[in-house]
């Protein structure tokens, strides 16, 4: 029964990756930028949630919503201040800027509050419960619930609302969308807002699950979430979800087999294999350059 617990742990971790990966994949789909700062928005979300719960005694749900809203605002500010001018710049220039923004957020936080970690408050009385002889972590179930709700909400937004339609149109062909009267700038900002809100939510549930947060916590999950996005086929929303879950389970399996120090390498090995063998990802189509 041990493996069921591991599987549940893997899926929980995977759903955190999936939530972050969604932001990567949406932004990449719409402006072809690897938003390196996305992992840091995730970190900011974790800190906002921490202050809301531990310092201002807020309940979990309002704290989660607050983290999501503030992260959405931060995401839009980053886009407007740093990335907007780079729409016509080279991919490399955009990537370097994103790296710069990422470092700026991390070290500004360290500058103001130091690099020391914080301990997240516990919000569940019973850490685990028993289902047919299997010990299930309460927090795992909780993470899964929150993730599933958010992903359903995202699916609804993307497929059933006007802004979702605009997002799909812009990611397909920004110029054509503009000609059809879609406000491309606002659509891109909305994409950043939604992606950042999801990352903020991921930050809060990460804090609750792992109980330890620090200013550089976003770097590795950020990179791994990017791996998840590539794994599922970058730009494809269900791909990011699937990629996140696969990655979470693989990492948990690697740890469970006794190679916990190699856990972080697993993600990068997957990344390199997928880039070399099937660069468009599991769900993607290969595109060729026009000559």
Partner 1 sequence: MKKSKVFWGYAIIALVLYAVVQTLISFGMVNTHYQNMLITMCINVMLAVSLHLVIGVTGQFSIGHAGFLAVGAYISAICTMKLGMPFSMAILAGAVVAMLAGLLVGIPSLRLRGDYLAIATLGFAEIIRIVFLNIDYVGGAAGMQVTHQSTWTYAFVGTAITILIISNFTNSRHGRACIAIREDEIAADAMGINTTYYKVAAFAVGSFFAGVAGAIYAHNFYIIQPTAFGFLKSFDILILVVLGGLGSLSGAVLAAIFLTFVSTYLQAFPETRMIIYSLVLILVMLYRPTGLLGTKEITDLFKFRKKGGTKV
Task: Note the residues at the interface with partner 1 (CB under 8 A).
Answer: 34, 82, 85-86, 89-97, 99-104, 106-108, 110-111, 219, 223, 226-227, 230, 261-262, 264-265, 267-269, 271-272, 275-276, 279, 289, 291
Q: Which is nearer to partner 1, 54 or 275 (CB)?
A: 275
In the complex, the smallest distance separating the C-beta of residue 284 from partner 1, rounded to whole angstroms, is 12
Q: Which is nearer to partner 1, 182 or 271 (CB)?
A: 271
CA dihedral 109, 193, 220, 60 (to 10 degrees): 80
Q: Which is nearer to partner 1, 15 or 97 (CB)?
A: 97
In the complex, the smallest distance separating the C-beta of residue 13 from partner 1, rounded to whole angstroms, is 18
> What are 21's two structure tokens?
């990966």
In the complex, the smallest distance separating the C-beta of residue 282 from partner 1, rounded to whole angstroms, is 15
Distances (CA, A) of 196 to 20, 45, 74, 80: 8, 9, 8, 14
Q: Which is nearer to partner 1, 100 or 127 (CB)?
A: 100
In the complex, the smallest distance separating the C-beta of residue 221 from partner 1, rounded to whole angstroms, is 13
Q: What is the distance between the alpha carbons of residues 232 and 182, in angstroms, rounded to a whole number?
A: 28
Report the Cα 135 to chain-centroid distance in Å.
28
Q: What is the distance between the alpha carbons of residues 185 and 80, in angstroms, rounded to a whole number?
A: 9
Residues 6+ apart with CB under 8 A from 93: 86
Q: What is the distance between the alpha carbons of residues 165 and 169, in angstroms, rounded to a whole number?
A: 6
SS3 120: coil
The residue among 152, 148, 184, 179 whose CA lies nearest residue 168 is 184
> What are 244's two structure tokens?
């996140």
**124 and 142 in contact (C-beta within 8 Å)?**
yes
Q: Which is nearer to partner 1, 182 or 223 (CB)?
A: 223
Q: What would the DSSP string read from start to end of 151-170?
A: HHHHHHHHHHSHHHHHHHHH
On the 0-12 / 13-18 / 19+ scale of CB atoms within 10 A, 92 is exposed
Q: Which is nearer to partner 1, 209 or 226 (CB)?
A: 226
In the complex, the smallest distance separating the C-beta of residue 206 from partner 1, rounded to whole angstroms, is 20
In the complex, the smallest distance separating the C-beta of residue 26 from partner 1, rounded to whole angstroms, is 16
Q: Which is nearer to partner 1, 56 or 107 (CB)?
A: 107
In the complex, the smallest distance separating the C-beta of residue 82 from partner 1, rounded to whole angstroms, is 6
């Amino acid at each position: 029964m041990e493996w069921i617990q591991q599987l549940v742990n893997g899926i929980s971790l995977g759903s955190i990756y999936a939530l972050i990966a969604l932001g990567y994949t949406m932004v990449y789909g719409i402006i072809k930028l690897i938003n390196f700062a996305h992992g840091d928005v995730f970190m900011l979300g974790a800190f906002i949630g921490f202050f809301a719960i531990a310092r201002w005694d807020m309940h979990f749900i309002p704290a989660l919503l607050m983290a999501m809203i503030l992260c959405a605002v931060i995401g839009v500010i980053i886009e407007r201040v740093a990335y907007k001018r780079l729409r016509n710049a080279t991919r490399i220039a955009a990537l370097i800027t994103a790296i710069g923004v990422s470092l700026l957020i991390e070290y500004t936080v360290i500058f103001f509050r130091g690099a020391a970690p914080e301990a997240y408050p516990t919000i569940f009385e019973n850490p685990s419960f028993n289902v047919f002889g299997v010990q299930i972590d309460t927090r795992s179930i909780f993470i899964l619930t929150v993730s599933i709700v958010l992903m359903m909400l995202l699916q609804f937004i993307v497929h059933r609302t006007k802004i979702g339609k605009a997002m799909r149109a812009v990611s397909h062909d920004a110029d054509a969308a503009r000609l059809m009267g879609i406000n491309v700038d606002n659509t891109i900002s909305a994409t950043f807002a939604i992606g950042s809100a999801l990352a903020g939510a991921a930050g809060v549930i990460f804090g609750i699950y792992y109980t330890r947060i620090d200013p550089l916590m976003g770097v590795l999950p950020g990179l791994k979430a990017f791996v998840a996005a590539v794994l599922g086929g970058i730009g494809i929303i269900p791909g990011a979800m699937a990629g996140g879950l696969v990655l979470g389970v693989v990492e948990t399996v690697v740890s469970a087999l006794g190679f916990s120090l190699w856990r972080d390498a697993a993600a990068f090995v997957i990344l390199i294999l997928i880039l070399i063998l099937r660069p468009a990802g599991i769900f993607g189509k290969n595109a060729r350059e026009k000559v």
